[in-house]
């Protein structure tokens, strides 16, 4: 009996030592120039809340992950594909800090804001789209036409 209880204590100590330890924050793995997607989601039926987030792959996976964490579901209402997307997203979070809303616990709950944050996000998205359009036009006229 002593052997069994000793083994149980050893097993508990082993499990406790293998618990997930917090790791220092690291930037996400970027592809070339950190190209990613900054998106804006709205929560249904909580239409007073929006989420500004970043993804390196697809908005659909983020929508499904966020929808699982809240009552209702989320719908993407805006996005922009840009270089250094993670940095753009973090900058937008700092700009919208006064509008922060924490109404649920789960995936992305610190990235939610009151609906007026959309009025800040849309001009930023439009500016980035416009700059990308000008850059593409410049490349086309300077390098692709004769």
Total count of domains within the chain: 1
Confidence grade of residue 65 (pLDDT, cut at 50, 70, 90): confident
The answer to the question of residue 102 being in a domain is yes
Tell me, what's the pLDDT at 57? 83
Residue 1: is its pLDDT beyond 50? no
Among 62, 75, 80, CA closest to 124: 80
For 18, the 3-state DSSP assignment is: coil
Mean pLDDT, residues 73-93 taken together: 92
Tell me, what's the pLDDT at 138? 94
Given a contact cutoff of 8 angstroms between Cβ atoms, the answer to whether 39 and 53 are in contact is: yes
The answer to the question of residue 36 being in a domain is yes
Domain around 42: 31-144
Q: Give the β-pairing of 73-82 and 36-44.
A: antiparallel
Outline where 54-116 has alpha helix (H): 59-69, 85-95
Name the token pair of 14.
Answer: 């082993």
Residue with the larger pLDDT of the pair 107 and 42: 42
The answer to the question of residue 14 being in a domain is no
For residue range 97-123, list pLDDT tens digits in order: 999 998 877 767 788 999 999 999 999
- Considering the chain, what is the average pLDDT of its residues? 83
The answer to the question of residue 11 being in a domain is no
The answer to the question of residue 22 being in a domain is no
The answer to the question of residue 125 being in a domain is yes
Mean pLDDT, residues 4-19 taken together: 58
Q: Kindly give the interhelix angle for 85-95 and 117-139, rounded to the nearest 10 degrees.
A: 150
Q: pTM of the entire structure?
A: 0.72
Among 21, 20, 56, CA closest to 39: 56
């Amino acid at each position: 009996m002593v052997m069994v209880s000793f083994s149980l204590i050893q097993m508990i100590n082993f499990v406790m030592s293998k618990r997930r330890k917090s790791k220092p924050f690291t930037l996400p793995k970027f592809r070339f120039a950190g190209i990613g997607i900054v998106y804006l989601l709205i929560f249904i039926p909580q239409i007073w809340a929006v989420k500004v987030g970043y993804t390196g792959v697809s908005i659909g996976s983020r929508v499904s992950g966020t929808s699982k964490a809240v009552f209702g579901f989320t719908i993407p209402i805006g996005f922009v594909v840009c270089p250094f997307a993670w940095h753009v997203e973090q900058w937008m979070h700092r700009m919208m800090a006064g509008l922060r809303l924490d109404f649920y616990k789960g995936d992305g709950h610190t990235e939610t804001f009151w609906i007026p944050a959309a009025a800040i996000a849309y001009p930023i998205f439009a500016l980035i789209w416009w700059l990308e359009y000008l850059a593409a036009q410049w490349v086309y006229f300077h390098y692709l036409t004769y």
